[in-house]
Amino acid sequence: MNMTEIENALDEIRPALQEDGGDVEVVSFDEGSNTLTVRFLGHCAGCPFARLTLKQGIEKTIRQRLPGIAAVEMVE
């Protein structure tokens, strides 16, 4: 798994986030657990729907595009 593949998959989600004044950035990828960690930016940071967006939007899209990723987590 490389960062270009991860960024390309996130690019599918970004327009919806940016439309609401937010964005998402990669914090890290743990190859041992195949866990991607992201941080919400702008209006998405602290949004009450951030966890839902993470699991139903970002994680779902990432895992469809990159099945090697087991989970997507967020940090504040």
Q: Are 36 and 73 in contact (CB under 8 A)?
A: yes
pLDDT at 70: 96
Domain with residue 45: its CATH number is 3.30.300.130
Cβ partners under 8 Å of residue 5, min gap 6: 65, 66
Domain span at residue 23 reads 3-75
Q: How many CA atoms lie within 13 A of 15 on its CB side?
A: 3
Overall domain count for the chain: 1
Mean pLDDT, consecutive 10-residue segments, the chain of 76 residues? Answer: 91 93 95 96 91 92 94 93
pLDDT at 54: 92
